[in-house]
Amino acid sequence: MDEPRWLDDAEFRAWIGYRRMRLLLDAQISRDLMRESGLSDPDYDVLSALTSTKEHRWRLTKLADRMLWSKSRLSRHISRMEQRGLVTREECESDGRGAEIVLTEGGLRAIEAAAPDHVESVRRHFIDLLTEEQIEVLGTVAETVLAHLPDPQE
């Protein structure tokens, strides 16, 4: 059996740094979002995806695919958000089985109120700390890594 190719110092620093950043940065930004807007990270993601269509509505499965969530996860989360008045379910005209998830007035107000603070939080803890060049490299790194992974849509 070949000796494993262990990580060298620079590689280890990048990998462990990424893991720790992932843990702490996301926790911080989630905390900010919850404190300032009363929305969880998943709440924000759902609202954000819904506002990205003109109709502010989306079939459950399509939305789950786009968000890379399981259908059951989304279904359960939508139920919770429905109780809080952020979204509603409507019967789908063209498919009797289907539900369409629709953004409510309250949901729209919620994300419009949350967005500025959220961007500010992302800037404060992440973007504004980096140089243009670092941001450029980061974007490229993410694209490279994602291009290499199997496409989860398929």
**Least distance to DNA from the beta carbon of 141, Å?**
25
How wide is the angle at C-alpha 149 spanned by C-alphas 123 and 62, nearest 5°? 75
Q: Taking Cα atoms as reference points, which of 41, 42, 44, 43 lies closest to residue 30?
A: 41
Residue 127 binds which of DNA, its own copies, none (CB < 5-8 A, kind-dependent): its own copies
Nearer to DNA, 46 or 111 (CB): 46
Q: Which residue has the tokens 């843990």?
A: 23
Q: Phi/psi of residue 102, each to 5°?
A: -120, 135
Positions that interact with DNA (CB under 7 A): 40, 42, 59-61, 64, 69-73, 75-80, 89, 92, 95-99
* Backbone conformation region of residue 68, classed left if phi is above 0, alpha if psi is from -120 to 50, else beta: left
Q: What whole-number distance in Å separates Cα of residue 4 and Cα of residue 55?
A: 53
55, 68, 94, 97: which one contacts its own copies (CB under 8 A)?
Answer: 68
Count of residues in contact with its own copies, rule CB under 8 A: 50
Which residues contact its own copies by CB under 8 A?
Answer: 4-7, 10-11, 13-15, 17-18, 20-26, 28, 68, 115-116, 119-120, 122-123, 125-127, 129-130, 132-146, 148-150, 152
